[in-house]
Amino acid sequence: MNEPLTPALTPPRTERLPGARWAWNPDRYSEGMFSHALGTERRRLDLLESVLDEHTRNRFLSLGLKPGDRVLDVGGGGGSVARWLAGRGARVTVTDLDTTFLDDLADAGVEVLRHNMLTEDFPPGSFDFIHTRYVLVHLPDPDRAVARLAGWLAPGGTLLLEEPSSFPVLDSPHPAYRTVMRAFRTHLEQSVGSDTAWARSLPVPLRRAGLTEVGMDARFQQIHGDDAESRWWRLSLEQSRVDMVAAGLVEEADFEAAYREMSQPDFHDLSLAVLTAWGRAAG
């Protein structure tokens, strides 16, 4: 069982942090299209985990994860990564703005914290591994977030980032799919404040944060007719549909046309690009 960690609150909730694109307010994320109060959010996260977890696990193992390592999983979502890490013998702390889907991990020996990584700190040297997945692109200053995360690493510790970029879907040959994906990107940028292109800057922010042994890989998620990726996208779109139509970004008929395309057995296209980057703290 981990020793309890007590993060220290720093700036107020809505302070505009230096260099940030917008004033940070966690409600902009946790009470919007990704709210845990939505009836389909747990299922949406389960689907996302089903298409991403294998790659995440393999990368942890390739970077030398071992029993006893102190691991911080930031923005743990549905908790599958934290649960797997604990099963490998790691001493795991998992955080999120809303821990509704994480609280049962305490039974697996995981420390669960409601935590805002932009405004709350951990002591320097707290962790041997720190991991984020699909988190940093939604923050007002992802580069600053990388520097903060790097500062919590123990000497020789590893920062592992997995972040999506939207560029593969923007010129899809399937017209209805392309239309709703472009609209969704705009809605995400306007409502949450996400920088859907930031991941393309990896791994440069890790070098700027002073990390060494920096590496990266990149892959394209694929989407087939009614597979897990397709179902994840449909839930993501449905949770945004009313607001997207109200904002004039897309019409109801466009959603129906896209869903027809995506459910066809011969539908085959690209989804998001996932850029994975890692680096080690000096030690």
Determine the pLDDT at residue 7: 43
Determine the pLDDT at residue 283: 84
CATH number, domain of 58, equals: 3.40.50.150
How many domains, the chain? 1
- In a domain, residue 18? The reply is no
Helices 252-263 and 175-191, axial angle in degrees (round to 10): 120
Whole-angstrom distance, CA of residue 176 vs CA of residue 167: 16
On the 0-12 / 13-18 / 19+ scale of CB atoms within 10 A, 19 is: exposed
- In a domain, residue 179? The reply is yes
Q: What is the pTM of this model?
A: 0.90
Reported residue count of the chain is: 283
Apex 129 CA angle, 126 and 130, nearest 5: 85
- In a domain, residue 17? The reply is no
Range of the domain at 131: 23-280
DSSP string, 187-246: HHHHHT---TTGGGGTTHHHHHTT-EEEEEEEEEEEEETTSHHHHHHHHHHHHHHHHHHH
Q: Residue 5 corresponds to which tokens in the numbers above?
A: 């960690």
Determine the pLDDT at residue 25: 61
Are residues 74 and 130 in contact, defined by beta-carbon separation less than 8 angstroms? yes
- In a domain, residue 10? The reply is no
Neighbour-count burial for 98-116, b at 16+ CB within 10 Å, e otherwise: bbebbeebeeeebbbbebb
- In a domain, residue 211? The reply is yes
Whole-angstrom distance, CA of residue 181 vs CA of residue 254: 10
Residues of the chain with pLDDT under 50: 1-4, 6-16
Compute φ and ψ for 182, nearest 5 degrees. -65, -40
- In a domain, residue 229? The reply is yes
- In a domain, residue 6? The reply is no
At residue 10, the 3 state secondary structure works out as coil
- In a domain, residue 264? The reply is yes
Determine the pLDDT at residue 64: 98
Determine the pLDDT at residue 23: 61
